[in-house]
Amino acid sequence: MPAIDLSVFDLFKIGPGPSSSHTIGPMRAGADFLGFVRGLPPQALAAAGRIAVTLYGSLAATGRGHGTDRAVLAGLLGELPERCPPDFLDGLARDPDKPRRLDLGPTALEVSARDVTFGPVAHDLGCPNTLRLQLLGRGEPAPVLAERLYCSVGGGFVRVVGAPDTPRPAPVHAYETMADIKRIVAEHDIGLTKLLLENEAAISGLGRSAILAGLDGVLSAMDAAVAAGLATSGLLPGPLGLARKAATLFERAGRSRRQPHESHLAKLMAYAFAAAEENAAGHVVVTAPTCGASGILPATARFMRQHLELPEHSIREGLLAAAAVGFLAKHNATIAGAEGGCQAEVGVAAAMAAAMLAHGAGFGVRVVENAAETALEHHLGLTCDPVGGYVQIPCIERNAIGAVKAYAAYLIASDEMLAHHKVGLDQAIAAMRATGRDMHCNYKETAQGGLALSVITC
């Protein structure tokens, strides 16, 4: 495989929840198809009658609960995740069958949720989460004037099936594994921060100040999600009737009957609840590495800032270490619940957060690796089984538990003897890949097994 050439800002995307693979990816697919169709010859556009969208895999199984239908419509209507107002998506949800005008230049069409079809869960179209977008002509049967298949591969990443990959600038320090990173750090006598910043500059073309400003923007968006969640109460959208808990947990965490260490951990969990509840509400979060796991890194960052009293530059550098772990997981396994179960989302997020804590606290690359490995190891086999297809039960609490596991993994790694650590991060990622491959599809985001069947919803 080629070296990892992802940008930090590919991994940390700001956009609406509740699912990066079900919301952000499909919205990008819709926007891409809009651009593709607008580039067709005028005679093809003049013959157009409507646009048809078909969802496959877990997009079909849980697309309504995840908001996939309105996300792809938003993309077709010209919205992008990083700038799409939550009110716009809320409007599509309130009145899904209302026709919206889609301007194609020589002609105009109307689109609504009626144009979105939920296809089969089992298919052979290239990846678990696939979308088929078609421009159809008039008449019955309507001729297909243009078509594209998209794979939504987790973390908001989407690719066109059959399209060649666009070449990207080569990184300064080529790596594929954690072993490569450790070798480069040793051979060039550089720290992890410098390695990642030099690669980011080469890949993104941004200068150091722009990269640091971008990282600060990511951290700011993460903390805004925590703040919004802590300030909000009531029920989350959807039929489950799930009450928000973050504000109550945070208020009760400070009660005098708690020991200081208990209060700190309770607040860490409240922070994770807060951002995860904002995600479940379809509000703006940061993929870290996905929307479904978007509570763990924001909670960790606020914990580092307010309870460990680390300076902002240390938190920013910790975020770079977290990105490195996310890159390795995506490159060598998956970060998509539809491919690997929740171990690929909450498990990877916990590993990223453990690395963030270790690096932010000033530890070297060996401790960073050990912290990430420990956190990932103890999420192996975790299924993705959202009740009712909503990113609520068990997803929100899993973010809180994942944040605590990340902190525990950091404590173990920072206090143990390095020579006594036996499992490497590369080995844990390989185990996650193999476990995800063997996991039955019922336990990979389809809401057809696990808690999704055990918990009765009305």
pLDDT tens per residue, range 190-205: 999 999 999 999 999 9
Residues 139, 243: one domain? Answer: no
Domain that holds residue 110: 19-160
Residues 192, 333: one domain? Answer: yes
- Domain membership flag for residue 392: yes
Which of 112, 133, 160 is the last residue in one of the domains?
160
- Extended beta strands in 86-170, E state: 100-103, 108-111, 116-118, 130-137, 144-152, 158-160
- Domain membership flag for residue 54: yes
Give tens-digit pLDDT for 107-116: 899 999 999 9
Please report the pLDDT score of residue 341 as a whole number. 96
307 pLDDT band, cuts 50/70/90, is very high
- Domain membership flag for residue 147: yes
Please report the pLDDT score of residue 368 as a whole number. 98
User: With 80 as the cut, is the pLDDT of residue 128 above it?
Assistant: yes
144 pLDDT band, cuts 50/70/90, is very high
Residues 46, 149: one domain? Answer: yes
Give the SS3 label for residue 132.
strand
Residues 376, 410: one domain? Answer: yes
Q: Where are the alpha helices (DSSP H) in 2-100?
A: 8-11, 25-38, 42-46, 58-66, 68-76, 86-94
* Beta partners for residue 148, in sequence order: 133
Residues 144, 202: one domain? Answer: no
106 pLDDT band, cuts 50/70/90, is confident
User: With 80 as the cut, is the pLDDT of residue 457 above it?
Assistant: no
Maximum pairwise Cα distance, the chain: 74
Across 362-390, average pLDDT: 97
Please report the pLDDT score of residue 89 as a whole number. 86
Question: CA 347 → CA 13, 204, 218, 225, 350, distances in Å?
Answer: 19, 27, 21, 21, 5
φ/ψ of residue 63, rounded to 5: -65, -35
- Domain membership flag for residue 268: yes
User: With 70 as the cut, is the pLDDT of residue 458 above it?
Assistant: no
Percent of the chain, pLDDT > 70?
99
Residues 350, 251: one domain? Answer: yes
Which among 365, 426, 423 is positioned nearest to 176, based on CA atoms? 426
Across 399-415, average pLDDT: 98
Which among 111, 173, 171, 123 is positioned nearest to 151, based on CA atoms? 123
Which of 128, 160, 192 is the last residue in one of the domains?
160
Residues 190, 98: one domain? Answer: no
If you average pLDDT over every residue of the chain, what do you get? 94
- Domain membership flag for residue 442: yes
Residues 140, 218: one domain? Answer: no
154 pLDDT band, cuts 50/70/90, is confident
Which of 100, 134, 160 is the last residue in one of the domains?
160
- Domain membership flag for residue 48: yes
Q: State the residue for tokens 């990877």.
A: 348
256 pLDDT band, cuts 50/70/90, is low
- Domain membership flag for residue 142: yes
CB-CB neighbours of 331 under 10 Å: 19
Percent of the chain, pLDDT > 90?
82
Give tens-digit pLDDT for 258-299: 787 889 999 999 999 999 999 999 899 999 999 999 999 999
Please report the pLDDT score of residue 342 as a whole number. 97
Residues 236, 366: one domain? Answer: yes
Across 287-315, average pLDDT: 97
Residues 125, 230: one domain? Answer: no
Give tens-digit pLDDT for 165-186: 888 899 999 999 999 999 999 9
Across 444-455, average pLDDT: 91
Residues 226, 341: one domain? Answer: yes
Report the number of distinct structural domains present in the chain: 2
Give tens-digit pLDDT for 22-64: 899 999 999 999 999 999 999 889 999 999 999 999 899 888 8
Residues 376, 317: one domain? Answer: yes
- Domain membership flag for residue 182: yes
User: With 80 as the cut, is the pLDDT of residue 456 above it?
Assistant: no
Lowest mean pLDDT among 55-69, 182-196, 384-398: 55-69
Give the CATH number of the domain where residue 84 resides.
3.30.1330.90
Please report the pLDDT score of residue 1 as a whole number. 72
How far, rounded to the nearest angstrom, does the alpha carbon of residue 217 sit from its chain's CA centroid?
A: 17
Question: CA 332 → CA 11, 327, 329, 353, 376, distances in Å?
Answer: 15, 8, 5, 19, 14
